[in-house]
Amino acid sequence: MNRLTGKRTVITGAGSGIGRASAQRFAQEGASVLVVGRRAANTEETVELVRAEGGVASAMVTDASVEANVEAIVARCIAEFGGLDVFFANIATPGTNTPLLEQTVDEWNDVWQTNVISCFLAAKYAGRHMTAQGGGSIILTSSAASLRANAGAISYSASKAAVNSLTQCAANAFAGTGVRVNAILPGLVKTQMTETVFEYARQRGSENRIGHMTPMKRAGQPHEIAAMAAFLASEDSSFVDGQLFSVDGGVSSTHPFGRIAL
């Protein structure tokens, strides 16, 4: 398919995992991709993978949770590709499973900056350009952990719930401009960020039980989240706005239970 032919796109957190898979999928569908990541080697590797498949991509190494950097990301995409049609804000930090009564404000500030402020900045700076050009798609990465307790660290889950609200509020703030804002809520997906979960299961000999609480009975793969991102980036989703899409193997359709200590 070539649903993204001519689209000028930015993907943050694209050095690995969901971001890398999305960069490859976007390019396969015809988009030009500005691959943004914090680690030069990983970011360049993503670009090389895209180019090896015949895609168009450039690397930018920066922290996409800092305001001046996000403004520069948007400016770079416009300068290099001639515009900006899609911004996929995809950086995240998982927080820690420190008991609630022992957590610090510093941890919460770090999680909030990375998971929430980065999305706000994407909406602000991408939205400013997209409003002027008459439209565009902003995609935010939330999490199925935002919907109920015990699916992730407390600070992480709370921050992703804020991303959900931001998605809806931003979509309405852009009413009538042609700028759409939607969020993807992945479940447990095998990425660099979740590797500790998989390693812990391997050490316990329970790797075959990962994802067993989902109707799909398995964990997800980055390319499965990338497929949803490509849909939201494309004109196939032209009447989709302010929505939260769980891509989680069905885990959010039920009430699996875990416990996080005080």
The DSSP-derived string for 22-50 is HHHHHHHTT-EEEEEES-HHHHHHHHHHH
* Residue 32 burial (CB count, 10 A): 24
Q: How confident is the model at residue 115 (pLDDT cuts 50, 70, 90)?
A: very high
**Amino acid identity at 69:** N
- Residue 245 CA to its chain's centroid (Å): 12
The encoded tokens of residue 239 equal 């009447």
| pLDDT reported for residue 1 | 76
Position 257 pLDDT exceeds 70: no
Tens-place pLDDT, residues 156-214? 999 999 999 999 999 999 999 999 999 999 998 987 776 666 565 566 666 666 667 78
Given 87, 112, 125, 156, the catalytic residue:
156
The DSSP-derived string for 144-166 is GGGTSTTSS-HHHHHHHHHHHHH
What does residue 196 show for φ and ψ, rounded to 5 degrees? Answer: -65, -35
Question: From CA 9, how far away is CA 60, in angstroms rounded?
Answer: 13
> How do the domains of the chain map onto residue ranges?
8-189+221-247
What sections of 174-211 are H helices per DSSP?
195-204
Span 8-189+221-247: which CATH code?
3.40.50.720
Tens-place pLDDT, residues 38-59? 999 999 999 999 999 999 999 9
For residue 156, indicate whether it is catalytic: yes
Position 99 pLDDT exceeds 70: yes
Which pTM was predicted? Answer: 0.93
Sheet order of strands, 86-89 included: 56-61, 32-37, 8-11, 86-89, 136-141, 179-186, 244-247
**Residues 188 and 220 sit within 8 Å (Cβ to Cβ):** yes
**Residues 90 and 22 sit within 8 Å (Cβ to Cβ):** yes
User: How much of the chain is in helix, strand and coil states, percent to nearest 5?
Assistant: 50, 15, 35
Find all residues with CB under 8 Å of 246, minimum gap 6, and list them. Answer: 144, 147, 185, 187, 252
Question: From CA 31, how far away is CA 203, in angstroms rounded?
Answer: 41
Question: From CA 186, how far away is CA 194, in angstroms rounded?
Answer: 12
Outline where DSSP puts E strands in the chain: 8-11, 32-37, 56-61, 86-89, 136-141, 179-186, 244-247
Position 228 pLDDT exceeds 60: yes
